[in-house]
Structure 1
Amino acid sequence: MDTVKYAAEIVKELQRSVERIADAQAEALADIILRSDKVFVAGAGRSGLMGRAFAMRLMHAGLNAYVVGETVTPGIDKGDVLIIGTGSGETRSLIPMAQKAKSLGAAVAAVTISPESTIGQLADALVNLPGATKDQASGGHATLQPMASLFEQTLLIFYDAVVLRIMEKKGLDSDRMFGRHANLE
């Protein structure tokens, strides 16, 4: 199969994945973000990269959004939300973050393949995304892509869709958001 055919198959996989996302779960995530004072985003590996892109767009939308682990990230408090993107829901570095956020009175939202996971069980809001974790990908799941690529791609598309919903709820457009874009580049 050539590269273009692989790309076409990836798009088909993404279409099937997006169609399986529950509207009510997505709406609940947008709502918890909008009523939070600060939004913290975390994830490991490629899921973490998708989270960084999400935090940037939330900042462009005028929200106080932060990436966990950055030197300029403030502390989390009651009234805040921690959003964790994790395929397995068992990433060892992310579980203590969820536990700490809960202990400080913050809400936890999980975007995961595995709602029954440790992080899924800790979550106040949960979005179940389809896909295969990096360990499952070789086990015959319906993806031609390696490891957790389908989850990570679906995660980015989902995060962008949440941003669009937040823009709609806040009456924002791209022109208004561009005013918050980095200008020291």
Structure 2
Amino acid sequence: MPSHPLTAASAVIQELERTLQAVEPGEIEALTAQIANAASIFVAGAGRSGLMMRAFAMRLMQMGFRAYVVGETVTPGIAEGDLLLIGSGSGETKTLAAMASKAQSIGAAVAAVTIVPESTLGKLAACSLIIPAATKESAPGAAVTSQPMGTLFEQALLLLLDTIVLNLMDRQALQGAAMFKNHANLE
């Protein structure tokens, strides 16, 4: 008899709880402060991590921040005083590392959410939030997850970014209803 379908969901929730409990609270607070103090926030990521970063940019915009997704046709140039926030499990995606270097050369701050602090992006970032999950390239047996590839990182990334949204809302004494004025209305 097959196991109950929610058995897998329970395992995923346990993995997420274990992973999120291992994140350093000071890193969450430091990234929250970087975002709060940036003139504009630019987010980037590749693949599913990029989708999580896009969702975060949407929430920042709804809170009244100047937030942009790198690569969109309406995204302006980054400048000194801005923040480039990159989500990358491995921290080695070449296009993202090139973006980080370019942002630094312009005088923008770089922050990374990654698994590997000693990665290229981890070294380029002035502020890092480390998620202790398995990378999609982890060797078999080395993974701390039963989920495929970078799934645990991507899930934890979304939840941590939502946590930062809550922290920012608290700093601004902002209620969810106030954010609705910036919600899309042409749907």
Q: TM-score, normalised by structure 2?
A: 0.97
**1:123-149 Cα shifts (integer Å, max 9, x gaps):** 010111111111116343221100010
Cα distance in 2 between the residues matched to 1:142 and 1:42: 25
* Cross-structure match for 2:46: 44
* Cross-structure match for 1:131: 133
- The answer as to whether partners of 1:137 and 1:143 remain within 8 angstroms in 2 is no
* Cross-structure match for 2:180: 178
* Cross-structure match for 1:121: 123
In structure 2, the CA distance between the partners of 1:137 and 1:3, relative to structure 1 (3 Å rule), is farther
Corresponding residue SS for 1:11: helix
The one-letter code sitting in structure 1 at the alignment partner of 2:6 is V
Corresponding residue SS for 1:144: coil
Identity of aligned residues (%): 54
The one-letter code sitting in structure 2 at the alignment partner of 1:164 is L
Stretches of structure 1 lacking an aligned partner (at least 5 in a row):
none
Which runs of structure 2 are paired with 1:1-185 in the superposition (5 Å)?
A: 1-136=3-138, 138-185=140-187
Cα distance in 2 between the residues matched to 1:23 and 1:121: 20
Corresponding residue SS for 2:12: helix
**1:91-117 Cα shifts (integer Å, max 9, x gaps):** 011010000000000000000000000
Cα distance in 1 between the residues matched to 2:138 and 2:87: 17
Cα distance in 2 between the residues matched to 1:137 and 1:8: 24
Structure 1 runs (4+) greater than 4 angstroms displaced? none
Cα distance in 1 between the residues matched to 2:149 and 2:140: 7
Corresponding residue SS for 2:110: strand
Cα distance in 1 between the residues matched to 2:152 and 2:167: 22
The one-letter code sitting in structure 2 at the alignment partner of 1:138 is P
Cα distance in 1 between the residues matched to 2:110 and 2:168: 18
In structure 2, the CA distance between the partners of 1:139 and 1:91, relative to structure 1 (3 Å rule), is farther
1:53 Cα offset (Å): 0.3
Stretches of structure 2 lacking an aligned partner (at least 5 in a row):
none
Cα distance in 1 between the residues matched to 2:49 and 2:66: 21
Cα distance in 2 between the residues matched to 1:67 and 1:138: 34
Q: How many residues align?
A: 185
In structure 2, the CA distance between the partners of 1:113 and 1:38, relative to structure 1 (3 Å rule), is same
